[in-house]
Amino acid sequence: MILQDKVAFITGGARGMGRAIALRYADEGCNSVIVDVLDKEGEQTVGDIKAKGRDAIYLHCDVSNSAQVKETVEKAIEKFGKIDILNNCAGVGTNPTPFEATTEEEWDRVMNINCKGTFLTIFYIAPYMKKQNSGKIINIVSVAAFETGAMNVHYHASKAAQASVSRSAAADLAPYNVCVNMIHPGMVLTDMSAVFSGPGVTDVEAHQRGMAQNMVPLKRMGMPEDIAKAALFLASPESDYITGDSICVSGGSGLLMKTP
């Protein structure tokens, strides 16, 4: 087991990519702190981790709230004594929104969760990793960090900013043997898919799969488990000489122009 007795702190761990990562880590011997605002789903994920023979706790936390993040990290340290891996999976998507229809309130909400949340968790966990002279930080960003379009300026901006925070943290923490890397998912079938599809779509899965056929070279949607495989690599000793870098898990999205 390549993560035997490690401890992971996973924001957004209640469902979707965070849950898939937590379960994949458990298969490799890792204990987890599941951090989310979805209490029922978070407790279910904890139960499923324990069913695999590993330990886990669920902690309710709004990652955009500094006091809550600080308290949650302290509770995690109190429980396990260390944090070896930080996965920032918490994030919010947005309905397709034109630039001039983006409200200041929605801009702040998306930036606070997607970017500020990543900054805060690294800020409070980094001192513990520096003290132990080791750590892996994996931030779930998005291909939206380097793609642009007429829709969802706030989402794209938040992901570009999150990527910048990741690179800065990688430079700062490298002397302490802490690696900080990013995963850029493309179209992945999660609960957030409904948000990206827009309010008029009734069959989200069919809509997303149809889009994947047209836009993804590998001709399929990504699944949370695809992201978990990349996260396992970045959390493991196999990636010890990689930091400040990115893995796109997108089926080749953006690789090819669609031709007639």
Structure tokens at 118: 């990543």
Number of H helices, E strands in the chain: 9, 7
- For residue 11, give the nearest of 34, 31, 27, 28 by alpha carbon: 34
Q: In whole angstroms, what is the distance from residue 140 CA to residue 259 CA?
A: 31
DSSP string of 185-207, one letter each residue: E-SB-STTHHHHH-TT-S-HHHH
Kindly list the distances between the CA atom of residue 20 and the CA atoms of 15, 194, 195, in Å, as whole numbers in the listed order.
Answer: 7, 18, 20
Reply yes or no on whether 128 is catalytic: no
The single residue of 58, 124, 155, 176 carrying the catalytic annotation is 155
What spatial distance separates the first Cα and last Cα of the chain, rounded to whole Å?
47
Helix, strand, coil percentages in the chain from 3-state DSSP, rounded to 5: 50, 15, 35
Query: Does residue 179 contact residue 238 with C-beta atoms inside 8 Å?
Result: no
84 by DSSP, 3-state: which? coil
- For residue 126, give the nearest of 159, 68, 175 by alpha carbon: 175
Residues recognised as catalytic: 155
